[in-house]
Amino acid sequence: MPLYKTITPNSQTTVKIWEITESYSDLMNGIILKPENLKRILSMKSELHQQGFLSVRHLLAEFGYQDSELFYDENGKPHLHDGKHISITHSFTFSAVIISDDVVGIDIEKQRDKITIIAHKFIDYEFDYLKEDDVDYIKKLTSIWCVKESLYKLFATPGLSFKEHCLVIPFSVEDENTTAWIDHENKKHRFHINFLEFEGFSCAYALV
């Protein structure tokens, strides 16, 4: 069973990461989906998306939950019926779930050169400390995207902008944590960020 990594950043929070190595049919084994989710996965044209969807259900099982205990609100934010906070992500061959007593957000992204093309769409303040000739430039851009995506998932507020409202203070890729802020509607919110790299992927998760 390819549970790739389990992280416990504090006593109330656990992160589980899954490496997707199984086929769609193998991942379907042992998983019971709600009727609407079974219909949804059967309509997916990409097997990679199907695998990502199912790997998340296996991660839920690792936490002791079933698909029926997960639901989404009108903003697309996932929730658990027992009131625990949850955030979900998957990218290519990895997926992750974080569950906590407090609000959380998580994101995984594959490190790819093409991120430089869209950097101007999600970075503003951070350009003050980023250098394009830095050997870790792609990794840093990917990490910043992950941080901002995790903040977006945590905050779950319509109209929140990666570029305008989310700020990531300077960091190095060797760091395991940093601080980020959401500056929205004249209020500043500070968040603790943990991040890691593995197999050419970046992952960040945000905690209050």
Domain limits, the chain? 3-102, 107-207
Q: What is the pLDDT of residue 175?
A: 86
**Options 3.40.30.10, 3.40.50.720, 3.90.470.20, 3.20.20.10; CATH of 3-102:** 3.90.470.20
The DSSP secondary-structure symbol of 67 reads: G
* Residue 135, both tokens: 């050997």
- For residues 197 and 193, what is the distance between their CA atoms, to the nearest angstrom? 14
The DSSP secondary-structure symbol of 122 reads: H
Q: Where does the pLDDT of residue 37 fall: very low under 50, low under 70, confident under 90, or very high at 90 and above?
A: very high
Average pLDDT of 81-105? 97
- For residues 2 and 163, what is the distance between their CA atoms, to the nearest angstrom? 35
Q: What is the pLDDT of residue 84?
A: 97
* Sheet of 187-198, strand order: 104-110, 201-207, 187-198, 177-184, 166-168
Q: What is the pLDDT of residue 75?
A: 85
Whole-number percent of the chain with pLDDT over 90: 92
DSSP run (H or E) holding 18:
strand 13-19
3-state SS, residue 109:
strand
Predicted TM-score of the model (pTM): 0.95
Please determine, for residue 77, whether its predicted confidence score (pLDDT) is greater than 60.
Answer: yes
Residues of 2-18 as b/e, b for ≥16 C-beta within 10 angstroms? Answer: eebeeeebeeebbbbbb
Task: Please tell me the least confidently modeled range out of 112-116, 133-137, 170-174.
Answer: 170-174
